[in-house]
Amino acid sequence: MSGPSVRAEPDLLVVGAGPTGIAIGAEAKRRGLDPLLVDRGPLTAAIQDYPAHLRFFTTRDRLEIADVPFTVPEDKPSRRQALVYYRSVAERWGLPLALHEEVTAVVPPGEPGGRFEVTTRHRAEARRYRPRAIAVASGYFGNPKRLGVPGEDLPWVGDRYRDPYRHFGERVAIVGAGNTAAEAALDLWRNDVRVTLVHRGHEVKGSVKYWLKPDFDNRVAEGSIAARYGSCVTAFREEGAERWLELVPAAGGGEPERLPCDAAYVFIGYRPDMSLLSAAGVTVDPETLVPAHDPETGESNVPGLYVAGTLQAGAATDRIFIENSREHAPKIAAHLAARLGR
């Protein structure tokens, strides 16, 4: 365990130590509650997995949480500035943290006013907590969608893009057609990497950022970036020193063909993992993956179990971001504090 004053029976156990989880913990402390943030990875794990030189499109004022000013000279902060800022918020509020610790089970109280039973695992050690309430703010970034084809687990096939330098002079295939795919393709091309984008559709998605799409389309039109539109990946293969993607036409028919490469990335989106909520008794819509919750308080159909951040939107992972999930924290903290008479 890490962080100050980690107790086995906190008022509120927050699953997830990203910006939303940190905001909930800070608001809980503001209300006189005793929180504990538990995360299977490090603090702000998702931001750590962003590209190394990413700059937020959102302005710094909309990324602020817990009344802690985001004081940087740039209007749109970098990944590194965000990491430092959110760590400083956790330190400023003295949030108790249990990092690199995965929540494996949540059992609701057997009677009104009782405590939850939460089991976690830190390395090989099982731990148990008995909070009065739980807020799940685990996000979706840790659960990328998969193609489900042979070879997807090969070490040269990735789902996280950090920088182009490791691929200098190589051939890199990118599977996908959203913002991440377009941004990575452009960054790689600008750093002397031969890039091919593979997508089953006939162009990148219309939701790609308005200033990014023309740049990408122009690079494809001039031949700087190759695009294999109307193609599906059926396998990632290697034999000796050779590596390649096996492609077939998305429309069906035709013979499989090889796309030689040295590395590949799969960027086809994310799917939130609702298994912890479902196992705890939260009703989750099978189509939308939206968990049952009161939008005014964040409380689910299980009393004392709150849903926060991007999880509230279920499969619609493009609806809730840091800037519009900040409001979840004070709502949850106020509701719980009133229930506990704080």
The dihedral built from the CA positions of residue 113, 117, 122 and 126, taken in this order, carries a sign that is positive
> Can you tell me the distance from the alpha carbon of 103 to that of 96, in angstroms, rounded to the nearest whole number?
16
Query: What is the model's pLDDT at position 11?
Result: 98
Query: What is the model's pLDDT at position 1?
Result: 44
> Can you tell me the distance from the alpha carbon of 260 to that of 107, in angstroms, rounded to the nearest whole number?
50
Q: Which of 318, 233, 335 is CA-nearest to residue 270?
A: 318
Type of residue at 155 = P
Query: What is the model's pLDDT at position 5?
Result: 62
Please give the model's pTM, rounded to 2 decimal places. Answer: 0.93
CA-based radius of gyration for the chain: 22
Q: Which residues make beta-bridge pairs with 47?
A: none
Tens-level pLDDT at each residue, the chain (342 residues) = 445 668 899 999 999 999 999 999 999 999 999 999 999 999 999 999 999 999 998 999 999 999 999 999 999 999 999 999 999 999 999 999 999 999 999 999 988 889 999 999 999 999 999 999 999 999 998 899 999 999 999 999 999 999 999 999 999 999 999 999 999 999 999 999 999 999 999 999 998 988 999 999 999 999 999 999 999 999 999 999 999 999 999 998 888 999 999 999 999 999 999 999 999 999 999 999 999 999 999 999 999 999 999 999 999 988 888 898 999 999 999 999 999 998
The dihedral built from the CA positions of residue 52, 57, 60 and 64, taken in this order, carries a sign that is negative
> Can you tell me the distance from the alpha carbon of 241 to that of 314, in angstroms, rounded to the nearest whole number?
42
Query: What is the model's pLDDT at position 290?
Result: 97
What order do you get walking across the sheet with 35-39 strand by strand?
97-99, 35-39, 12-15, 133-136, 305-307
The answer to whether the CB of 267 falls within 8 A of the CB of 274 is no
Rounded alpha-carbon distances, angstroms, from residue 77 to 70, 84, 85, 141, 218: 9, 11, 10, 20, 28
Q: Tell me the three state secondary structure of residue 164.
A: coil
DSSP H or E stretch at residue 147: none
